[in-house]
Structure 1
Amino acid sequence: MREGPACGIERPIALQALAGDVAVEPPATLRCETALQLARWMEKTVKPALAVAMPGETIAGLRQASGYVCRNRNNTEEGKISEHAFGNAVDIAGFTLKSGKTIDIRPAERDSTLDGAFQRAITEAACLYFTTVLDPGSDAAHENHLHLDVKERRGGYRYCW
């Protein structure tokens, strides 16, 4: 899949669901490695954290805000190309639970509720699976979602903000 001189994915996948019938809404076009880390994060972090924060609730859907898209970082006119342009990134806007409740990603740094604790826990743990994690506290461009990407960096460096 190629778009323009710089964007594309060698072997794209259309991710429609994750294990346990968790719908990806809308489906996301990603590289396999990005989808794999998303699945690992969901199984090993998000689902267990939800079980502690909201006993009896289960995740029915993962609301993604951006998978593959040929653009610059933060949708700027000039600058570096986003990891979204290579299928390396996915933006998570929230979750839909089987009960119908929704959990939106939002600024939660000072939220002392279980919803806030849940969001902080899954955000911190995301850096175990992704090399870049940007949350609503990182900058204005990420106020309503988590940016997760698998960009390879020298020395295994990770950027978690």
Structure 2
Amino acid sequence: MQKIGAVFTDAPAIEDGMACGIDKPLLLSALKDGVKVEPPATVRCETALQLARWMEGSVAPALSTAMPGETINQLAQASAYVCRNRNNAETGRISEHAFGNAIDIAGFTLKSGKTITIRPADKDPSLEGAFQRAITEAACLYFTTVLDPGSDAAHENHLHLDVKERRGGYRYCW
């Protein structure tokens, strides 16, 4: 993780009951080039690694193309580790957030101070809309589940990214 420029601290193991928890959690506070993760995210190493790879390999180049001269200063995360069911439902399957496998991205703050907020952008003809569509599609190269504002009402203001292992390498990109 440090080789790719991530800044993190090891955190104590988490065991919250309901099968929730992380054996070796990380508290991720920044990515390459000083991009702050705000608030810092408690995740598994694999989640942090794929986030760092996605940011460097796809998000930064897409931003450079869409908004030349801009760089990302801060990543706004909406949810990392939390012991809960999927979509905060009272019953049902446990969320990948409950294992440290998922992170929700709400937006980005650029060095200029401009903010890009994740929102429905499938019909947005602007460069910001194209940027969001590009990074969402590219996320499927790094994460096994990608849910965007078009997937359902529970994800209309963020990207859900997770690294859940599935049979046959299956990926769910919506």
TM (normalized to structure 2)? 0.92
Amino acid at match of 1:83: E
Out of 65, 72, 87, the residue aligned to residue 59 of structure 1 is: 72
Out of 145, 162, 165, the residue aligned to residue 152 of structure 1 is: 165
Length, aligned pairs only: 161
> 2:133, 2:42 → 1: CA distance?
26
State the partner residue of 2:60.
47
Determine whether 1:133 maps to 2:151: no
SS in 1 for 2:74: strand
Structure 2, unaligned runs of 5 or more: 1-13
Amino acid at match of 2:56: E
Structure 1, unaligned runs of 5 or more: none
Out of 153, 156, 171, the residue aligned to residue 143 of structure 1 is: 156
SS in 1 for 2:27: strand
Out of 48, 51, 65, the residue aligned to residue 38 of structure 1 is: 51
Quick one: percent identity of the two aligned structures? Answer: 80
Amino acid at match of 1:140: A
Q: Deviations over 1:111-131 (max 9, x none)?
A: 000000000000000000000
Structure 1 moving runs of 4+ over 3 Å: none
Determine whether 1:100 maps to 2:113: yes
> 1:154, 1:140 → 2: CA distance?
27
> 1:152, 1:16 → 2: CA distance?
25
> 2:52, 2:28 → 1: CA distance?
10
After TM superposition, give the deviation of residue 4 of structure 1 in Å.
1.1
State the partner residue of 2:96.
83
Determine whether 1:8 maps to 2:21: yes
TM-align CA RMSD? 0.4
Q: Which structure has the higher relative contact order (CA within 8 Å, separation 6+)? A: 1
Q: Deviations over 1:84-137 (max 9, x none)?
A: 000000000000001000000000000000000000000000000000000000
> 1:23, 1:147 → 2: CA distance?
18
SS in 2 for 1:17: strand
SS in 2 for 1:151: coil
Out of 22, 29, 36, the residue aligned to residue 42 of structure 2 is: 29
SS in 2 for 1:46: helix
After TM superposition, give the deviation of residue 5 of structure 1 in Å.
3.5
SS in 1 for 2:105: strand
